[in-house]
Structure 1
Amino acid sequence: MNNIVLDERLAADTFPVADLPLCRVLVMNDARYPWVILVPRHASISEVFELSMSDQQQLWREATQLGEAMSSALSGDKLNIAALGNVVSQLHVHVVVRRHSDATWPAPVWGNGSPKPYDVTGQTAMRDQLLALINGLGLDV
């Protein structure tokens, strides 16, 4: 599997957490939401159908298992999983835990309000919490 180079916008808007069997896990630098982005570690992929069938299944497995763990641990009311790619063409999947009390509920997280970047303590806490969740998934990290 290739060691991918992140799109500049993904690199600027996120911080890394870990690598799963298929995807790199990044946290969107917006403390208003528990929001990770999964990026398959394949060069020059922009669409899910460009992945092999087994990698498509692995992508969905990683997104749903991590999303379920995040939703449960972080008291989510709804889990949003989406692969849009209209602004950043590099294939990536958003996994966002939503709460009825969050900053933009029930509207989408995209384009609503200004991001609230994590401070150093919050960034470390989110990374540590996600690493603990990831280690409990049994995804052969």
Structure 2
Amino acid sequence: MFVLDSRLQQDTLPIGNFPLCRLLLSNDAQYPWFILVPRRAGIVEVFDLAEHEQALLWQETTLLASVLKEVFAADKLNVATLGNVVSQLHMHVIVRLRDDIAWPAPVWGKHPAVPYTAGQYAAVIERLKPGLAGAFEFEASL
């Protein structure tokens, strides 16, 4: 049974589900920072997924990335799987702007997180809805 790692649970806000992945928003309003987590138990590396799930992970990642590039006018997208702290497989898709607080350095550990307000969180969801319609199930409460 899939259970989201407690550190991801603690540091993110829920958005909804693709067919394979749970989509989360990192609770740091300084960057549009999204995290895809395959809803499979015991998955640590991409190769732990079945081949068709590996392809689906990449399809969901590229769909999300293309929507984010357009919606947030990204100068660059950072896409990575890192598991040094949280071993549960998760894919970061981070919108980078030349004027963001950490540019051009990586976002990790540069500045303390600034949590989203309820209004900011709702605004991010609304911006995503047109681009993800049909391929995605938003949380019922959003």
Gap regions ≥5 residues in structure 2: 138-142
Cα-to-partner distance string for 1:4-50 (whole Å, 9 max, x where unaligned): 21101000000111100110000000111111100000011111000
Q: Which residue of 2 aligns with 1:29?
A: 27
Q: What SS does the aligned partner of 2:127 have?
A: helix
Give the letter for the 1:139 counterpart: A
Gap regions ≥5 residues in structure 1: none
Tell me the C-alpha RMSD between the 2 structures: 1.2
Aligned residues: 137
1:52 is the counterpart of 2:50: yes
Q: Which residue of 1 aligns with 2:11?
A: 13
Identity of aligned residues (%): 49
Give the letter for the 2:50 counterpart: S
Measured at CA, do residues 61 and 122 of structure 1 come closer, stay the same or move farther in structure 2, by a change above 3 Å? same
**Residues in 2 aligned to 1:51 and 1:34: alpha-carbon distance in whole angstroms:** 27
How far apart are 1:64 and its partner, in Å?
A: 1.1
TM-score, length-scaled by structure 2: 0.92
Matches within 5 A, 1:1-141: 2=1, 4-135=2-133, 138-139=134-135, 141=137
Cα-to-partner distance string for 1:103-130 (whole Å, 9 max, x where unaligned): 1000001111111110111111112222
**Residues in 2 aligned to 1:118 and 1:132: alpha-carbon distance in whole angstroms:** 21
